[in-house]
Each structure stands twice: as structure tokens, then as C-alpha cells.
Structure 1
Amino acid sequence: MSRVLQRMLPSLSKLQSLQFWQAGLTDQTVISFMNTTSLCSNLSSVTLEGNFLPKQSYHLLLSEDSVLTHLSLRNNQMGDEGARLIGSALSTTRSANKNLRSLNLSFNSIGDAGAKYIAQGLRYNRALLFLSLSNNWIGDAGAADLATILRDFALTHEEVVERRKLQLERAQLSLQSSFVLDSDRSPSDQLPSVPSSSSLSSSKGKKKETNKKAEKPAATKENPKLNKKSSDVKVSQSKGSKPGGKEKQPPLQEVPEVKSSTSLIEMEETINPLLDQSVQYKEGKLFLPGNTTLVSLNLAGNKITEKSLPLFLKLLQMQSEGGGGRGGGLLRLCLQRNSFPSDCKYYVKIKELIKLVDPLEKNNHEPTEEEGQKS
């Protein structure tokens, strides 16, 4: 199957979606498959369901250079170890998946530890929009980790150290770019010194100038080509006659390099949330703005109790109030079929808030499992 895919996929230039349902894939097949998908320019959606991989290689589909935008990994008996690898693929302090928009991890065996790993991956991921963790083993601890990461959260000691390293690297890059910029400007600034030195030399004796002026008409009458050659020599001498200066002017191609270095700084600030300028210092800790990119979270069919509901309620209330001036946030939250009654007051308030923003709640119906799986 691996060899068939390697030969078949590159020729399917218009292929957009691939589905593997109980296809008996192995870890080695997935590795080979990922090496081939890079040749499919339009492939954006992969469904790999009912394929248990002993080495939990599902995270390879979420690599940083992956072009997939939709990935479904339902019913793969994935445990907390697979969730850990996926969380690391979603984001770390140094890397993040930037293309995946939808991830379906429902009907697996992910517990509280796995939910914590997924929440860790959402700390710096600013691409994922839809996440489904329905029908797993997630309890209150895992739900609390997910709810906490969606609002302002405190940086750990390791993250503070990493933030300082990134700031130092940015400062060094800025200093290097300004140094290159100054070195590019200095030769051009020295160019006006050439005519100034010639004017100083000409001011030493006016007799020489009058003699040269007298000789010029004769030269043009006798041999105009000689006059052109002499003027060319003067121009060439004036370009290279800078006292103590460089012999050659640096190429103009170095200027775009300065722009690229400064643009790298700006790009790093926008991509890496650790360099977010809106970091706040309070209670002796640094607080980073939470993940407001995720708009849909499906936690239906887990083991969440009433204990975790106030966390989600507070999160939605903050979002409804504007989230401290920041846009974004959850538009859909599925919590049905958990370990709390449907008439729980917190759950009723959560549904009321979600109904105001969820486009699927316009008909006032309870989200079905099929809808939850799509998200």
C-alpha cells in the first residue's frame, strides 16, 4: 500500500481529500504517507479513522511543515501518549503548526493527562479553529486545563526564561540590522566629501584653474576625444579618491537584507505569542493573553461534572463583556452527555450565552452528535 500511494498520489494534482477507514495502516505507512503528501499540492483534508498505531505516529500529520487544514483522527484507540505528541505538534515555545484549522480527536481514550497535553499545545497555537474531544475520558481536571488556556494564563518559570531568550535574540537581530544599515549609509555619506576636497584644492590657487580653463578650449579644438578621455579619468578618480575610504562602494543589494531582517523581527512578534506586547504583570507573575483563535470546542460525552462548569461560565461571561478589549473566543461549546444534570444552573447559563453567539443555535435545538463530530 505504501508503494502504491507513493506512485499514485503525485499524479493526482487535483486531489483534495483522503479517507482511510479501518485500512490497516501502520506507523511506517503513515511516515511514508507524510513524505508523499508534500507532492500533492491541493491535498488539504485527511481522515484517518479506525487505524490503531502502536507507536502513536498520528502527530506526524500535524508537523510544522504540514499543509493539511482538516484532520480527523477518530476511533483510533489513542491514549494520553498520543495526545502528548499531538499537543507538542500543535505548538511549543519555539514552533507551532500554522495551517491546521480543524482537528477531530473524538471516540478515543484520552483522559485528563491527555487533555492537559492538548491544552498545552493550545498555548501558542494561533491557527486551530475547531477542536473535538467528544466521547473520551476527560474529567474535571482536563476540562479545567482546557478552560484555563482559553483565558489569560500565567507563564511558568521555563516560559519566562524562554521569553527573555527570545527578547534577547530580537534585540541582537535589531542591533545587527541597525549596524548593517549604518554601514550601508556611511559610504554614501562620504560621497559628498569628494567635491568638497576638490573645491578645497582648487581654492589653494586660482591660477591653476585659469590655466586649466585656458587649456580646455584648445584641447577640444585639437582633439575632442582626448578631452572625453581626460574627463572620464577625472570621474573615475573622483569615485575612488576618497582619503582613507573604501576602494569600492558596497553593492545596493545589501539594503533589502536590512528590510528582511527587520521584517523577521516583526514576523516573530506576530507569530510567537511569547513576544506579545499585551503581556501583563500582576500578582508577581506574567500573564499571557489566552487562546482566542479557537471558536469551537466539543467536549460532549466525557466525564465532566458540575464542578468544572463555573470555569466555562466565567470564560464565556468575559468574552461576552469584550474579553478585556480583545476579540475572538468561543462561538460554540458542546458539553452535553457529561456527568451533570441537564437542568444544572451553570449549564443553563452556559447554553444561554452560547445561544447568543452560536450560529447553529438559531433554531434553539440541542446540538446533535453528528454536528459535534463535524466540529
Structure 2
Amino acid sequence: MKKRVEKVVKEKAAGNVEDEFSKIADDYQCSGSLEMDFPELCSLLGMKEIPAVTPRPPASRCQSHCFCHFIGWKVDELMARVLNKTLPALSNLQNLHLWRAGLTGRTLTSLKNTISLCSNLRTVVLEGNPLPEQSYHLLISEDSMLTHVSLRNNRIGEEGARLIGSALATAQAANNNLLSLNLAFNSIGDAGAAHIAQGLRLNRSLLCLSLANNHIGDTGASRLAEVLGPFSLTHDEVVERRRLLLRRDQSVRERTAHLHTTFFKFIFLGLGQSHSFLYIFGAIWDTGQIFHPVSLHQSAELVETVSPLLEPGVQHTGGRVILPGNTALTSLNLAGNMLSEQSLLLFLSSVGAQTEGGGLLRLCLNRNRFPPDCDSFLKIKELMSLRDPLNKTAPAQVDDEQGQAA
């Protein structure tokens, strides 16, 4: 392979060798070994400085999944091409960490496409990579298979938070795979927190969310507290709910009509078959395979896209449609913000109304603008200490983001 490259360089020294280099790189067949493929592809693309790749041994002999850490590497377009070839070839790649990689909107888009080709990649840590385009939401789009994403220290502001909130959920679509999202040490603010809260209204997969150190005050915190308890649907959400109900009812009617037709065809075809037909028909009737209204309704619901707008417990009060709050979220970190006791009262009300069937198990509110001995804070700590199944003896208000800023 190297001899071929040298030959190309000699033959086209006066011309444009870049295209030929690219073709050679595209034809390269990865072996599945990052230590072998990465430097080879970098060389084929004419990169002068090739970062060293140091394999990390598994923590235990039974651990076979792969971690890729790119710390301080500049991921320009050439490097993005190398990653696009090498990472999908790593069949056991599950974790990808990029810290201060100098990403741009274009290289992030390329990275997103690469991630979609990595069949087992579930965790992406993209920190210290501020983007003017604020396009981090591409990593958590509706079709993303990632379950854990960290976007700390990226200077995410209101626009980035708006895009992330829409990626979490809208009335028409939602991310159903993401379990944890770390947005600590950004600049989300009150307006951005409101956008994140909007996404939490109809998202039922996210379990852990960190918004620590984001300049969030009572206005943004109140929007977050609101979605934890019952809330009124907006006009657009009501319209979408009606559309889903009509679609579900239509599905039930179509299936009922189909089974009725099948039923009568079965009878007419069986006429004249005397006792053998009657015996078979009776057996099928007894097992309920011909027609059962409850089964029809359940099967219609199975084919319907799961949506919180159709979840049980919806109430109609004073012309409003009230949806039960988000009880899927189990951990919320708001440490290091600007919350006052006013916010604590709202959280105490919303969390206190959540039943044992779901809801927050951990709410971190350290280092905000209220005295640590205020009554509302103490009540929240007591409530959380009773709920947290992993922390029965230690204080419930542990701040895992403290000291992590860079």
C-alpha cells in the first residue's frame, strides 16, 4: 500500500495528488484494529502529524467493550474521514469521548453520520467543543440509538437548548432511546431551561438530566418543576391527541370489520362440512380466536405509536385537558444555579404530588441562592432521602458536578 502511494506521488508530483490519495483511502479495507487502521489511513490521506493511539485495556477480563478517547485532538475534515472509516469497523465500540476536539458544524454532522454506522456505540461524551451553530441536537435526533450523551462545557445557550428540547420531544415525535443527558457548565439560562422543560413534557425515556451550573433562575426552574406534576396540554398537543385517538379508533374499526368478514367467510365455507366443521368451529370459538372485542382494542394499541398523549390518567377540567406529569425522569441536577426559595416551593409541590409508581428519586439543588437551612430545602432533602434507593445512609444532596468545570 505504501509503495502505491509513493508511486502516485512520483507520477503526479506536479499535479493534484489529493484525489488519488482520497481514492486509495476509500479503497482501504479496515481490519478492525484501531492501532493498525488509524495511522495507516492518516498516512494515506497525507496527514503529516499522526496522533498516537494507545489502547486501553479492559477493566476486567470479562469486559470486552471498547472505549475510544480523543483528548486534545483536532478533528478537522481529514480526521473526520479517518474516523468515519475506522470507528464503524470496531464491532465492540460502545463509548466515544472527544474533549476539546475543535469540532465545527460540518465535522459534527460528519461525526453524527459516523456514529449512526457504529452498531454498538451507546455513549458519546462531547465536551469542551463550543459550536457557533449550536447543532448538538443532531446527536439525539429521533433515530439516534445513543443512550448516554454528555455535552458539558460547550457554551450551549438558548438556541442550542431550544434545538435540544425539540429533539427530546415534540407533539409529533420523540427520542425514545436516550437515558441520560449531561448539559452541565453551559449557558442555558432561564429561556433555555424553558425549552428543555418543553421537551420533557412528552419525553418518557430520559431518566437522568444534569443542568448544573447554567445560570438558571426561578423563571426557568419553575418551568422544569411544572412538567413534573400534572399540566395542561397546549392547543397543538390537544390537536395531536385528537388525531391519535381518531387513528386508534379507526384501527379498531378496520380490524373489527376484517375479523367479521373472515368470520362469516369461515361459516359459509364450512357449510355442508357437517360435524367435522362444527367441531373445529366450536373449538376455535372457545379459544376466542375468532372475535374478542378486548383483544381487538389491545392489538390496535400495539400498532399505535406510543405517545404520552394517549397515556391513561388524562383528565378534562374546565375545558382543559390535563396530562399526568413526567414521572419517567428519576434524577435532576440543578446545582450551582440561581434558584431561590420560590423555586423550592414549586419543586416541593410537584415532587410531593408524585406517587410511588414513578417520579424523581434524586433532586440536587446545592449551591443556589437560598440558605441551606431553609424549611423547603430541608423538606426536599428529607423527601429525596426516603425515595433514593441507592443512598439510604449518605446525604441525598450529593453534587456530582462540583469541581468538574474546565
TM-score, structure 1 length as denominator? Answer: 0.77
Out of 171, 189, 208, the residue aligned to residue 267 of structure 2 is: 189
Relative to total residues, which structure has the larger helix share, 1 or 2? 1
Out of 288, 312, 316, the residue aligned to residue 281 of structure 1 is: 316
Structure 1 CA distance, aligned partners of 2:221 and 2:118? 37
Q: Tell me which residue corresponds to 1:82.
A: 160
Structure 2 CA distance, aligned partners of 1:372 and 1:60? 28
Residue 372 (structure 1) shift: 9.7
Residue 172 (structure 1) shift: 1.5
Residues 159-308 of structure 1 correspond to what in structure 2 (within 5 A)? 159-194=237-272, 263=299, 265-268=301-304, 271-308=306-343
2:110 aligned counterpart, secondary structure: helix
Q: Tell me which residue corresponds to 2:27.
A: none
TM-score, structure 2 length as denominator? Answer: 0.71
**Is 1:364 aligned to residue 374 of structure 2?**
no
Structure 1 CA distance, aligned partners of 2:351 and 2:367? 20
Residues 1-375 of structure 1 correspond to what in structure 2 (within 5 A)? 1-194=79-272, 263=299, 265-268=301-304, 271-319=306-354, 323=355, 327-358=357-388, 359-360=390-391, 362-364=393-395, 366-370=397-401
> Is the contact between residue 256 and residue 296 of structure 2 (CA under 8 Å) also seen in structure 1?
no
Q: 1:89 to 1:372 in 2, by over 3 A?
A: farther
Q: CA RMSD in A?
A: 2.2
Q: 1:33 to 1:317 in 2, by over 3 A?
A: same
Residue 311 (structure 1) shift: 0.8
Q: Which has the higher contact order (CA 8 A, sep 6+)?
A: 1
Counterpart amino acid of 1:98?
N
Structure 2 CA distance, aligned partners of 1:343 and 1:185? 70
Aligned residue pairs, count: 306
2:391 aligned counterpart, secondary structure: helix
2:149 aligned counterpart, secondary structure: strand
Q: Unpaired segments of 5 or more residues in structure 1? A: 197-254
2:91 aligned counterpart, secondary structure: coil
Structure 2 CA distance, aligned partners of 1:118 and 1:299? 13
Q: Unpaired segments of 5 or more residues in structure 2? A: 1-78, 275-290
Q: Tell me which residue corresponds to 2:71.
A: none
Q: Tell me which residue corresponds to 2:19.
A: none
1:278 aligned counterpart, secondary structure: coil
Structure 1 CA distance, aligned partners of 2:94 and 2:330? 24
1:271-306 deviations in Å (ceiling 9; x for gaps): 201112310122332111111010100001111111
Structure 2 CA distance, aligned partners of 1:260 and 1:16? 40
Report which stretch shifted further, 274-283 or 78-87: 274-283
> Is the contact between residue 140 and residue 175 of structure 2 (CA under 8 Å) also seen in structure 1?
yes
Report which stretch shifted further, 355-364 or 337-346: 355-364
Structure 1 CA distance, aligned partners of 2:195 and 2:353? 24
2:238 aligned counterpart, secondary structure: helix
Residue 58 (structure 1) shift: 0.5
Larger Rg: 1
Structure 1 CA distance, aligned partners of 2:403 and 2:261? 59
Structure 2 CA distance, aligned partners of 1:277 and 1:261? 15
Structure 2 CA distance, aligned partners of 1:89 and 1:78? 15
Structure 1 CA distance, aligned partners of 2:113 and 2:296? 31
Percent identical across equivalent pairs? 57
